[in-house]
Structure 1
């Protein structure tokens, strides 16, 4: 009250000062006093352009959080929509916004790494290909999960799926799914000609040629074998399987040198180039990724098809496949009977190191990787689970009997090189493989030796200096 009175008398005295148009100082004093009285009597002026403070949350209720989840475009969007709806129902204060990247793992990698290296705080949770872990960990883009993904939780997963999420001494990913290359085939056509699933690539070619000759008049567009031969990461997986089947590898056992010019690797490339492409495989396959090659098979235009486990559900889905009920699946062939090779694939959940909501991000990962949700993904989307118990689940095996055989293939699958510079290695591999298959008169030995030298220079950068 005393302040009000004092301010009022100050204002009154200033009011009595004679006014003059040149007395700017007096005018400023009068305005200042008037503002002081108004401030004391009525408080600070209200700015209607500023929103009122939100009401306090009830005691114990967490503040609303929006998580941003970066993933590729799914083949079964309704399954993922349902999964996220179930999560938000269980966690009402957390909403999830998905950012969908291209289906190509190479294009998705480019988009995601651009965000992560810029420290984009709008990225919280992301799908991480198993080959990206060393890169993301070394760059400190992914948050270590050792304090969350505890040993008791890890025991429920296939060992191979947790190990691919490790770099040096830390874990950076929680297994979402495990993948390995598989051979899908037209069961009806093989039965018609008295064949069983081929165990070798030579047997596959003989069967395809026999069936194509027998069906030529009634089905002239039928192809023998379709796979993924476009220049992208899937091409590396397809050719890795061929090289392994011929007894070779991409790198030496110690991972220090490239072996593309070694005899087994050259034989594998020559086999694909001379015996498959343009023979039982259309040259258009040089532009195929998973969706394009699978679409051809689902439309009944191919006898054999290489893909990942997810393709089983789509191939037998009567609303999406013209050959549903006529499809079988087997391990990929080898160069000799009893020897097979499959590339190890799979995806992990990771948390961005720049995320401002790591606790909520972990809650989402824990939910999506749970046994109940993995079972739903397996039943409704044909995704191979990463939890060991699900491979003996009666409901799941009744729905997907092929899982009986998958476990052996998945456990024996060959990983791609694990290195922080794998994207650069993959770029060189993709370019070489693509040129080797597409350029008709390319000198394979010379091109392989040149690529070996380029890869060796890159690998030397990662070795400790003396």
Structure 2
């Protein structure tokens, strides 16, 4: 199946062929790159630099913003060699692992400097099926001007956040800001809710839905406590409409100046501080709160990785491209020129990188150290089903249609049925 044929099926793939002058290249490698923001330009620049350095030829496939996983699955199930290097979401290694090569022999010790959680997430059945490329983790945004105005410390626990949000929200409303809310987050029933809720659960020591061995662990007191807590926010410090919020809806409220705290991804930083933002210069970032004094800070792992299709006719050259793009030098370039968060711990200590990432470099680093991977490695091809069941159960609690303990028990039974005795 060719990409031209796939495009005729309405999958909307845009092919961009980047040809290099001169002869003598060893191989032609095709890489898929996201078209979101300046992702495509940054990816293209890196790929072209590799081609120039190695004498190879590179082609770039610009991927659609949605439907990438389905497209990859179609290509791989057909044994297509049309794409050699795949840019994959952090939750896809387990889903696509059987069609990706083991990069261990190419990586050597190159993963030693990466945040361990990324390497673990990309290792399926003892095989390194992807290399970490750029990082992401859930963070807490807050209005530093309002916390200072009301003498409130940055909350370290969810209980403290709830109290601070209520105090400032009520005071601002009394002062005439009728639209002010204490806390906005992602409450729509989709993958974003899986991320938020897993952070609540993990912060209360409730586990990661399914543990590394494949055992379903969701039915525990920590999970119930976390969901009851979040249910208590709806209609008090969070609007009822939060149940329809994704990242952008939450950002819209916060950036308009109508919220004190926000859970989101680091991408919102530059937007909140853009020239036309009402909250420019008034925002700060901190680690997400703990679930009480006995809890832990927990941020769900996001980000993207690079993998090589096992159907590639140029696997060695493709792996070479992956190693180049994920190298410290290239990740540093991307951090400085594009503001991308590196997966390499040491880069967060370099001043030029810190200057590029901005004043949240330390908070982002702390969040990545405490990052929690969604259970995609353990659940493999059934991760999407697991995530859908989890977010649905959480949403039922948040919307008030089901008691937390009942919803968690029902979820546990469904996931055990999916797992076939832990055999995902």
Contact 1:83 1:373 in 2 (8 A): no
392, 412, 417: which is aligned to 1:452?
Answer: 412
Query: 5+ unaligned residues in a row in structure 2: which ranges?
Result: 1-19
Equivalent-residue separation in structure 2 for 1:224 and 1:431 (angstroms): 25
Equivalent residue number for residue 141 of structure 1: 99
Q: Does 1:272 align with 2:230?
A: yes
Alignment of 1:248-263 (within 5 A): 248-251=206-209, 255-263=213-221
Q: For 1:156-201, what per-residue CA distance to the aligned partner results, in whole angstroms no more than 9, with x for missing partners?
A: 3233322221112221111112332211101111111111211122
Q: What TM-score comes out, normalization by structure 2 length?
A: 0.83
Number of residue equivalences: 395
Equivalent residue number for residue 426 of structure 1: 387
User: Which structure has the higher relative contact order (CA within 8 Å, separation 6+)?
Assistant: 2
Equivalent-residue separation in structure 2 for 1:171 and 1:64 (angstroms): 23
When residues 453 and 101 of structure 1 are mapped into structure 2, their CA distance, relative to the original with a 3 A threshold, is same
The SS at the match of 2:334 is helix
Q: Does 1:351 align with 2:303?
A: no
When residues 84 and 278 of structure 1 are mapped into structure 2, their CA distance, relative to the original with a 3 A threshold, is same
Equivalent-residue separation in structure 2 for 1:287 and 1:381 (angstroms): 31
Moved more, 171-180 or 307-316: 307-316
The SS at the match of 1:322 is coil
The SS at the match of 2:105 is coil
Equivalent-residue separation in structure 2 for 1:230 and 1:256 (angstroms): 27
Question: Over alpha carbons, which structure has the higher Rg?
Answer: 1
When residues 59 and 176 of structure 1 are mapped into structure 2, their CA distance, relative to the original with a 3 A threshold, is closer
CA deviation after TM superposition for structure 1 residue 388, in Å: 2.3
When residues 219 and 336 of structure 1 are mapped into structure 2, their CA distance, relative to the original with a 3 A threshold, is same
Q: For 1:261-288, what per-residue CA distance to the aligned partner results, in whole angstroms no more than 9, with x for missing partners?
A: 4222112111111x21222112222222
Contact 1:309 1:383 in 2 (8 A): no
75, 82, 96: which is aligned to 1:115?
Answer: 75
Equivalent residue number for residue 331 of structure 1: 287
CA deviation after TM superposition for structure 1 residue 306, in Å: 0.8
Q: Does 1:372 align with 2:334?
A: no
Equivalent-residue separation in structure 1 for 2:423 and 2:95 (angstroms): 15
Query: 5+ unaligned residues in a row in structure 1: which ranges?
Result: 1-56
Equivalent-residue separation in structure 1 for 2:368 and 2:420 (angstroms): 31
Contact 2:272 2:283 in 1 (8 A): yes
Equivalent-residue separation in structure 2 for 1:462 and 1:382 (angstroms): 40
Q: Does 1:196 align with 2:153?
A: yes
Q: What TM-score comes out, normalization by structure 1 length?
A: 0.76
CA deviation after TM superposition for structure 1 residue 147, in Å: 2.8
